[in-house]
Each structure stands twice: as C-alpha cells, then as structure tokens.
Amino acid sequence: MPEFITKSLPAVFVIALAALLTGCSQNDAQKKFEEEAFAQPSGITQTDVQGKIVTEDSDDWRIGPMFKGYMEVESPAFPNPVSNGQNLEIHLNITGIESISGLEVMVRDENDNWRSIYLDSQSSLPPGLYTFQLNPSSFSYTNNYQNAVGLHRVYLFDLNNNLITYGDVRVQ
C-alpha cells in the first residue's frame, strides 16, 4: 500500500468516528426530545388573536435537535386558548433549503387515538415564512367542537415521521 494512504488512514478513521459519534448524540438528543413530547399536555403558551405571546410555557414549541438551524417557530398556535368559531394559526420560518420534507400535524383525540389534522406532502418545504390554519373541531374524532374542548398537544412531524416541534393548545 502506498505510504500516503497508510499515513492518512488514521486521520480518515478519526474523522469517520467523530461523524459517527456526532450522529449518535444527535439521534440520542432527538429521541430524548420525542420522549418528552409524548408526555401529557400541561399548560399552554397563551397567545392573543394577533399571535402575540401573553404568557409562555417553556416546554411548548421547542425545535427538535435534528431541525435546529433549519426551522423556527415564528408564531406559536394562536389564539390560544381557542374558542368556538376560531381557527388556530401557526407561523413557521423555514431557514434551510430542502431541509424539511413535508409537514404533518397530528393530535390525540378524546379516545387517545392519533389524528392527522393537516398534511403538506411537498418533498421539501420552501424557505421563508410558512403559515397554516387548524380547525380545533378536527381535534375530535367526531369533528364536533364540543368533543374537542380541553387541553391538547399538537405535534408537527416531517414526512419521515421525525418530530419537529410540539405545543399545547386549550380548546374552550
């Protein structure tokens, strides 16, 4: 084997090992984030009808480790709490190019079953401001507003089933 290859093998090995360990710690951090997300909802980031934060819940609308630097929550769900006849609106800022593969928003209904309440199946979300609305009636399996009343955790996933962010919403 040529000498320049044998001299560079240890360097290549160290670089590969560092990349592997960074990937593992990133996966571990994402798994921990997801475990925290699947706890029961508690408290809300209260927002007004213009999207201004009134009181903040530090657990709500954090960005998952694998999405940091690629997306920010510009305005968390508003208004929160939400009343009958109102839709929730969420504003995201996509900062990475071809970094978020679509978007699926899910909640758990009153029977503790997963419900998909919003889907954007673009192969990648375009950079810039991304906004969407949610009808709180869709939080219930009957699509009846009265059955949706209560505290719900809203989950935002990419189309690879990776959790991007989550937050709690009160339907009143």
Q: What is the CATH number of the domain that holds 45?
A: 2.60.40.10
Find the domain containing 120 and state its range: 38-171
Q: How many independent structural domains does the chain possess?
A: 1
Which pLDDT does position 63 carry in this prediction?
97
Which pLDDT does position 57 carry in this prediction?
97
pTM, entire model: 0.83
Is residue 74 within 8 A of residue 110, CB to CB? The reply is no
pLDDT tens track for 44-79: 999 999 999 999 999 999 999 999 999 999 999 999
Structure tokens at 96: 């990475």
